[in-house]
Structure 1
């Protein structure tokens, strides 16, 4: 659940939210909320071990990378769509 949200929402969060730090925080809050629900759902089987937390850490890193990647793509695209300033001499 957390991995799917990270893959589907990481890049759009960086692309759509203009402030990169706000996008990272928003993604972190969303993933943390989903992680709590997911951990409660799978935790009743006593199957949570160290690899579970390693996978979650990698998921957060990938999501952060997608957010950071989406931000400059958005900035470059917005900059390319603005009309150039023409000065006459």
Structure 2
């Protein structure tokens, strides 16, 4: 992972299956991302999110670096190899 602070704006439940909302909320809960709901998106809310994300950028980066999920490709390959050997 690149450990870049980010702002996620998932499609609304009306415009999607809801998986984008679930994924975005998961990243937000882990402290990796700022999430804006599409329904509440405005110039002001986006500006505030950008300002806050920039201000807290080191916190986001630290949380991503400390995560056990930082090498998902290796984790997935290990799982596949483990299952294939059984």
Q: Same fold (TM over 0.5)?
A: no
TM-score under structure 1 normalisation? 0.31
Structure with bigger strand share is 2
TM-score under structure 2 normalisation? 0.31
Please tell me whether Structure 1 or Structure 2 has the larger radius of gyration of its CA atoms.
1
